[in-house]
Structures are given as C-alpha cells and as structure tokens.
Amino acid sequence: MADSSMGTESADPNREEPYLYRGRIKYSPEEDARLERQHFWKIINAFRYYRTHVEERLKRCERQFRSLPRRHQQLLSGFLDKLAEIRRCMECNHEVLQAIVQNCTHMFENMEYDEDVGESQDNMRRAGPCSTFDMDKLKSTIKQFVRDWSEAGKAERDSCYMPIIEEIQKQFPPEKCDVSEVRVLVPGAGLGRLAWEIACLGYSCQGNEWSFFMLFSSNFVLNRCEEENAMTLYPWIHQFSNNKMSGDQTRAVTFPDINPHSLPPDSDFSMTAGDFLEVYTESNTWDCVATCFFIDTAHNVLEYIETIWNILKPGGVWVNLGPLLYHFENMANELSIELSYEEMKDAIMKCGFQLEVERESVLTTYTENERSMLKYLYDCVFFVARKPAALHSNSHCKDIKTSNCKELNNSVQKTTTT
C-alpha cells in the first residue's frame, strides 16, 4: 500500500506534521486516566487474541499446502504433522499468556483497571483483532522470557549484563561499602533479570519499565513463579523462515531457570511502572544508573542524559551498554532524534559527566534464536560516566571528581534521614 503522506508532501513540501509523543499533548487527569485504561485493555486484548492470530497463520499455511499439485504435496509428507505440532505449541503458549494477564487489573498499587469501566464486561473479555505492531510486541515479549529467565539465555545475559554487574561491583566493592546503602536504578528493566541480579548481590535496586507487555510479564515471573523451570514456552514457532531443522521451530524453553523468590531475606528490590522521564524527577537520589539496551528507546536521547544527570548523586556513576537502534526512527509523526555515538558522547561530556571507562566494540545479541540461519550481532558501546562529586558552576550541567564509597554511603544516609 502506498504511503498516504506522499500526496500531502507533494502538495505542500513545507508543511510540518505534528509530532505525537510524550509530553506534547496535555490532557485533563480524567482524560489521561481514560486513555491509559484504554491502552491497558488494548494490550490485554493482544494477549487474549494470540491464539486466534496464530491459528489464522496456520490455516493459511494449510490452505497454501493444499493448493499445491498433488505430486508436490506427496513430497512433503510430514508438512501437516508439523503444522499440528506448531498448533500444540501455540496452545501451550496461549495458556501461559492467559496466566500472565490473569488478575492484572490489580497489579498496580495506585491504579485499578476494572473491566466494567467504559464498556460492558462481556465486550472487555471478548478478544478482537489487534494490530500487527501489538502482536509483534507480544511475540518479542515471549522471547524476552528466553533472554531473562531461561538457561538458554545465559550466554546472552553474560554478554550484556555481566559487564554492567562487574562494573557496579568495581565501583561499589562489597569489602569497602555497605552495599545495601548503594541505590541502583535500572531503567528499561524489561522482565527484571538485570535488576534482580543486582539486588541479589545486596545492592538496593529498583527496575523501571514503561511497556505493559513487559510489566505484565515481569509481574508474573517475579511474583507468581516460585518453582524452577516449571513453565514452558515455545518462542520460535512464529519463525517460518531460516529454520535448518523442522524441530528447531517447535523446541521448548523452560523458565524460570532460578527461583525469583530466592533473593536474600533482607534484599531491597522493587519494580516501578511508568515513563522514566516522568517517574524520576527527584535530584541527587541514585548512586548508580545502569542502562542496558535502553538509551535508544528515547524520542530525544538528550532528555535521557539530562534526567540521568539530575537523579544521580554527586559522585554517582552511569553505567551503559547497548547499541543505538533508535526505536522511533521510522515511525510516522513521532519525534526521533538520532545521534551518532560521537555526537551523544560529546553531549554527555558537555552536560558535565566525566567519562571514566569506554569500550566501543562489545559484541552481543538480543533475544537471538541460536539455531536460526539469520542472526543479528550488535557491536555495542560500553561506558562508565561519573557525575562530579564537586560540582562547579561553570559547567553546563555542572562538574566532577572522586569516588569514595564511604562518602557515597554518607550521602545516602543523609538523603534517607531528612
């Protein structure tokens, strides 16, 4: 289908389309709550529609198979059996997805999403067609369980999460710090494994996530899964291309590989829901901000940089690993500022950060199907930037130096006792 915007551009090449993104349109509190509730149920609908979506895909495969000449069908004697196996796997996925969204209306402390608000309960429970975008998000979320909470995802976690965890331990060594007083924030926490691992080491850690797909799923695995590898998903059944073996498409992955409830009794671990830029506005609050595959989710990455600067305590550190695959780059009517790493690093320095560690070629994958004939390899940047302990007025955002655990801990205590 042709791009409907092309005619408009030809008629008026100077016309500017509105950017529809966070903060541009202000709604009343009532309207804002209504739109959030509407979005909530749209995501619930995607979870509920999953079975119908995959079933339609399988029926299309079957129709196309039966349209083949008889001699070609005979060459593919096991094809219909494969579709039947995919259908069985889909049913297993469907059961897990329905378990995930069960009782989600009460998962947030300060918001209820009752089913009888705005529409009848019957209409709310009846799943209808959802957008391709939302279904792709749901399929991606299924693969997040592999990355964060399965043994199959361990290699990927080691390449992405371990550099961040090791740097946090280096910056705030347990032998020199009371790590329970070191506050670490993980924006874009996804299903929560990185934040969970940091909390498991004794640090006070909070994960933040905006996506309802991720929030529903992280709530399920963190709060309702207690037995190791008790749940099964088939994350690759939606991939009909680049399979070497038919069985690769229908192989199972179990989760969680570790009991999420096995955190030490005195652990300080939490997850918050909401837009990072709106939730975290209090200055000088965090000792460390750890971002993994996060900064390119911004409409304007400079807002992320400014927010991280603001919420870090003087002397605090920002640890980052990831690529720059800007999420809104090709989305119509969405603001998207795409900076090179060189440009972004220059902005970080101008804001007042001091770059202490920099590795520009950390190779890693993201929700990779290890048996696929097509793989994507990210050549990521890893850096550690410090907000100066001594802030000088001649800096654009202000200036630095020092990293003393005792001083950091004292600043934490002052913050919590005032």
Within-domain flag for 338: yes
Predicted confidence band of residue 405 (pLDDT cuts 50, 70, 90):
low
Mean pLDDT for 27-38 is 85
Q: State yes or no: pLDDT of 31 exceeds 70.
A: yes
Q: Which of the four pLDDT bands, split at 50, 70 and 90, describes residue 154?
A: very high
pLDDT grade for 343, boundaries at 50, 70 and 90: very high
The Cα–Cα gap between 4 and 379 comes to 35
Q: Could you tell me if residue 418 is inside a domain?
A: no
Place 29 in a pLDDT band, splitting at 50, 70 and 90: confident
Mean of all residue pLDDT scores within the chain = 87
Helix or strand or coil: residue 412?
helix
In a domain, 397, yes or no: no
Do 101 and 44 touch, CB atoms closer than 8 A? yes
pLDDT tens profile 365-396: 999 999 999 999 999 999 999 999 986 443 44
Q: What is the tens place of the pLDDT at every residue in 216-245? A: 999 999 999 999 999 999 999 999 999 999
Give the residue among 66, 76, 372, 82 at the shortest CA–CA distance from 246: 82
pLDDT recorded at residue 414: 31
Q: Inform me whether the pLDDT recorded for 14 exceeds 50.
A: no
Count other Cβ atoms within 10 Å, centred on residue 276: 24
- State the alpha helices, DSSP H only, in 312-381: 341-351
pTM of the predicted structure, to 2 decimals: 0.86
Burial class (CB in 10 A: 0-12, 13-18, 19+), 222: buried
Contact 144, 191 (CB under 8 A): yes
Element (DSSP H or E) covering residue 207:
strand 204-209
73 occurs within a structural domain? yes
List the structure tokens of 320.
């980052």
Q: Is residue 191 part of a domain?
A: yes
Quick check: 333 and 18 in contact, CB under 8 A? yes
Asked if 286 and 314 touch (Cβ cutoff 8 Å), the reply is no
Whether residue 13 is predicted with pLDDT greater than 50 in this model: the reply is: no
User: Which residue segment(s) compose the domain that 76 sits in?
Assistant: 29-114+129-387
Q: What is the pLDDT of residue 103?
A: 79
Render 86-154 in DSSP notation, one character per residue: HHHHHHHHHHHHHHHHTTGGG-BTTB---TTSSS-HHHHHS-----HHHHHHHHHHHHHHHHHHSGGGH
What confidence score (pLDDT) does residue 367 get? 97
Q: Tell me if 406 is assigned to some domain.
A: no
The CA-based angle 337-338-341, given to 5 degrees, is 130
* CA–CA separation, 344 and 294 (whole Å): 14
Residue 122 lies in a domain: no
pLDDT at 26: 65
Instruction: Please give the tally of structural domains in the chain.
Output: 1
Residue 173's pLDDT band (boundaries 50, 70, 90)? very high
pLDDT at site 122: 46
Q: List phi, psi (to 5°) of 400.
A: -135, 175
Report the percent of the chain where pLDDT is more than 70.
83
Q: What SS3 state is found at 252?
A: coil
pLDDT in tens, 82-139: 999 999 999 999 999 999 999 787 777 656 566 544 444 444 456 789 999 999 999 9
Q: Is 164 inside a domain boundary?
A: yes
User: What CATH number corresponds to the domain at position 260?
Assistant: 3.40.50.150
pLDDT for 172 equals: 98
CB burial string 106-123: b at 16+ within 10 A, e below: ebeeeeebeeeeeeeeee
pLDDT digits (tens, 9 = 90+) for 42-79: 999 999 999 999 999 999 999 999 999 999 999 999 99
